[in-house]
Amino acid sequence: MSASPLYPSFDFEGPVFRAHEGGKLGVHATQPLRDRDDLSLLYTPGVADVCRAIAEDPSLSARYTARRNTVAVVTDGTAVLGLGDIGPLAAMPVMEGKAILFKHFGEIDAVPVCMETGSVDELVEAVARIAPSYGGINLEDISAPRCFEIEERLKERLDIPVFHDDQHGTAIVVLAGLINAATVVDRPLADLRVVVAGAGAAGVAVTGLLQRAGVRDVVVCDSRGIISPSRADLTGHKHRIAASTNPRGLSGQLSTALVDADVYIGVSGGTVPEADVARMAPRSIIFALANPDPEVHPDVAHRHAAVVATGRSDFPNQINNVLAFPGIFRGALDSGASQITEAMKIAAAEAIAAMVPKPTAEEIVPSVFAPGVAATVAAAVARLAGG
């Protein structure tokens, strides 16, 4: 290891830092610039005709600029992966990585937009003002609960798709995995008793999408236990969770929620004691999605559950957002959709699930490198957009 004396914990000569040196993105031209004739076509005077045409009909910008195939990956760096509030500069390597995934899996040009942390009003205004350059907005790694309001206000204000991947990408792939996990254990999706541990961005979206897909019994827990109307400490979005979940009126800690539960979905971190896991129903399903340390280690989970999934690539059944967001945006951009609807999200989940026609305990979702995932999701989304 070759460490800097100023930063002894970092190996600047190692493969990780070398791979990131100079950044991971560049800009390339799609038209050749060989001579004066090319220059007059691509820039002045030729470009003026295109500008005048777009000024008369703004919809032409989707045909004659890169806007239609370009997405802004917007963050303020307040909730980056497992790193937390590290700020916009430190978030940039993650956003560059996200842009690579957009390009590789969806053939979409994505541009990192790392912004200074501000109020909800400031962030909404800033994103809205840069939106004319893009065909879609992917919100990324913005802390809860303000991420909910930011997304909703941008969806109301803009006529292009706005998608908070930490919420909806996670929810879509969880639903896809659960559809197939339910098949493995031979249970109707609607009859499952589901416990969601975590009431942040991912937990709220997972809960909502499962309910829209027909799951009737969802109990959500935060760090203080089961979210229910009896709690006096609920604020904002947790009041809404309390009003629409926990049909059996449970109260207490996660350990209580897990008694006879069919499904555990962890999107919160921490560790669930094995004694609590053992209280789940026979042939249960465990999605322990915290990275890098799942809430229930797969070795422990397999002692009690029939199907186990994590967010890690070194275990079977990786619940990875890359199964969803490239295809979601590809379908939305190609169809000219102005928003990504709840029906599109469910269709995307069903399309992902269908790519594993014979699910097993070891395979409930396709590999992120399985051919055709993004195209299949894109087609499902575009059909609902009328594309």
Catalytic site positions: 43, 98
- The DSSP code sequence of 262-307 is SEEEE-S-S---HHHHTTSPTTEEEEE--SSS-SS-HHHHHTTEEE
Q: Quick check: 310 and 326 in contact, CB under 8 A?
A: no
Tokens found for residue 207 = 């809960």
Q: Quick check: 75 and 139 in contact, CB under 8 A?
A: yes
Tokens found for residue 290 = 């915290």
Q: Quick check: 278 and 304 in contact, CB under 8 A?
A: yes
Give the separation between CA 194 and CA 208, rounded to whole angstroms: 12
Give the separation between CA 251 and CA 229, rounded to whole angstroms: 9
Residues 6+ apart with CB under 8 A from 271: 293, 295, 296
Q: Compute the chain's Rg from CA coordinates.
A: 22
Name the strands in the sheet holding 70-75, side by side, starting at the edge strand that comes first in the sequence.
109-114, 70-75, 136-139, 162-164
Residues 6+ apart with CB under 8 A from 336: 62, 385, 387
Backbone angles phi, psi at 80, to 5 degrees: -90, 115
Residues 6+ apart with CB under 8 A from 81: 94, 141, 291
Q: Which residue has the tokens 């989707």?
A: 62
CA angle, 348 then 287 then 257, to 5°:
115
Tokens found for residue 328 = 């979601």
Tokens found for residue 43 = 């820039």
Q: Which residue has the tokens 């919100």?
A: 139
Strands (E), 39-108: 70-75
Helix (H) or strand (E) holding 218: strand 217-222
Q: Report which DSSP code applies to 58.
A: G
